[in-house]
Amino acid sequence: MKRLRAAPSDRGCLVGICFFILGLGTLLPWNFFMTASLYFQRRLSANASNVTDGDHGGDGSGYSKYFNSCMTLLSQLPLLLFTLLNSILYQRISEAVRIAGSLIFILLLFVFTAALVKVEMDTERFFSVTMTTIWFINSFGAVLQGSLFGLVGMLPQKYSAVFMSGQGLAGTFAAVAMLLATASDAHPESAALGYFITPCVGTLATLACYLLLPRLEFARHYLGQGAKYEPGATDELLAVHQRTRVCQAESLTADGGKLNGRANGSAPAKDGDGAEGSEARRDRSREAFLALGQADKKQAKASIVEVFKKIWVMAFCVTFVFTVTLSVFPTVTVDVRTTALPGKWDDYFIIVCCFLTFNINDWLGRTVTTLIRWPRKESPVFPLLVVSRVVFIPLLMLCNVQPRSFLPVYFASDAVFAVIMALFSISSGYFVCLSMSYAPQLVEAKDAETAGSLMTFFLALGLSIGAALSFLLRRLV
């Protein structure tokens, strides 16, 4: 048999860089629309100022007031939907069409959103067009993310960490882009146009990285673009496998155990026993292959229900973490107002204390898990700490969220809000990363893929529940 071909090296870490950018590109749609919520709110409020209908007019009411809740819900529902349709979609559509096609549509939708900055519309039409764009851009984003998770899973494990790092920095990238657009002192319309052109460039770079992968020998070796074995090796390996199974059967028949006919007290048939001996040998062979069949069944993957019974605690944890996070971020947190003296800080407050603080600390929480993994996966303290994060909901609702109708303001200070946001985000990233990494460790290696798919579904479920709850919590403020 010919020898297996050794894996080539990742020259210049080009494959690692490509997957970092691909990870960044998967979450650009959600983060750029979320960080631009102030732009959408201001435009809706400006359009609504000329409307006499009390339901739609005025800052903080009507469309502008519930824009963030609608945006969050319509961003997360596609993720849940396409997670459920994942198996059908993957079987019917090729990987290249799913990834390249999604990136092209995301690019076109970002170009459309940038062009929309220069188009005047009434409030209702602008709201409807924006929500439709958010739905479709996140639908393609969900397809892209699921496809790339499957792709990076074929590479060595460290590339999954690189891919996740790219995803973790997508929010920071969007917040920095908004910060630069605000600091440019350009006309708000021009600043918004420049902001939405940035993800167009980022999506183009992501598409270029994906198209570059088949040209890199390291990527071809692992992703099936090139032969992983020397020609003819696969057939020889299959032949060896067949011979091994026959030898296993013969060794079982030759063994003095329960399968060689002595279990019932009878003597083994000899070659010279004629027809009876031949029949006995056939019986022994049949029993041996049945035994091998039972051994193969032990190697079969467990059912979804069986896997869920082993990982249900981690599934609950990841669902609860995202339910708490999305119920107040960004719907509630984006409406917190600074209590500092009026000035330029007003324009930077939400960008810095809400979006930049959340994304940097969320990424930090995920990164810390490479050094610290406490509590352990078997510890009952872990789900208790996850549930304790619910305290952040009232804490953030009692910050200076404006306008408000029911609750008083207990934490008016900008610094207190920033500290609460930092703890809120670092705990979110930490517990999400632990939950997702612990789940595959609770099952056998052959069931790790099933566990990962289940955790992805519960992650999406938590995002959707949190988005739905955000409507109620914003009203309660």
Give DSSP secondary structure letters for 112-161: HHHHHTT----HHHHHHHHHHHHHHHHHHHHHHHHHHHHHHTTS-HHHHH
- The reply to whether 1-224 and 302-477 are identical in fold is yes
**6 phi/psi in degrees, rounded to 5:** -70, 150
Residue 226 has a pLDDT of: 41
CA distance 102 to 321: 28
Q: Write down the pLDDT at residue 241.
A: 44
List, in order, residues 6 or more apart from 163 with CB less than 8 Å away. 19, 20, 22, 23, 148, 149, 152
Asked if CATH classification 1.20.1250 holds for the domain at 302-477, the reply, yes or no, is yes
What pLDDT is attached to residue 198?
92
CATH code of the region 1-224: 1.20.1250.20
- Tell which wins on pLDDT, 313 or 8: 313
Average pLDDT across the chain, whole number: 80
What's the gap between Cα 215 and its chain centre? Answer: 27
Per domain, the residue ranges of the chain are: 1-224, 233-261+281-299, 302-477
What's the rounded Cα separation, in Å, for the pair 281 and 63? 81
> 3-state class of 401 per DSSP?
strand
pLDDT at residue 182, rounded to an integer? 86
Kindly state the average pLDDT of the residues 434-452. Answer: 81
Host H or E run for residue 283: helix 275-299
Residue 313: its pLDDT value, please? 95
Which of 129, 119, 138 has its CA nearest to residue 67?
129
Q: How far apart are CA 282 and CA 405, in angstroms?
A: 84
Q: Kindly indicate the confidence band of residue 1, based on its pLDDT and cuts at 50, 70 and 90.
A: very low
pLDDT band of 184, cuts 50, 70, 90: confident
pTM of the model: 0.74
Q: Is the pLDDT of residue 185 over 60?
A: yes
Confirm if 123 and 63 have CB atoms less than 8 A apart: yes
- The type of residue at 130 is T
Side-chain half-sphere of 113: how many Cα atoms within 13 Å? 30
Confidence of residue 96 (pLDDT cuts 50, 70, 90): confident
DSSP letter at 446?
Answer: G
* 385 vs 455: CA distance, rounded Å: 19
Q: Range with the lowest mean pLDDT among 236-245, 306-315, 405-414?
A: 236-245
Percent of the chain with pLDDT over 90: 36
For residue 443, the model assigns a pLDDT of 85
Average pLDDT over residues 85-103: 78
> Does residue 269 have a pLDDT over 80?
no
DSSP-derived letter for residue 439 is: G
Residue 377 CB contacts under 8 Å (≥ 6 apart), including other chains = 314, 434, 438, 441, 442
Per-residue pLDDT tens for 173-183? Answer: 999 999 998 88
pLDDT digits (tens, 9 = 90+) for 141-164: 888 887 887 788 778 878 877 887
Q: pLDDT at position 342, please?
A: 75
Model confidence at 225: pLDDT above 70: no
- The residue among 77 and 384 whose pLDDT is bigger is 384
> What is the rounded (10 degree) CA torsion for 144, 150, 151, 157?
130
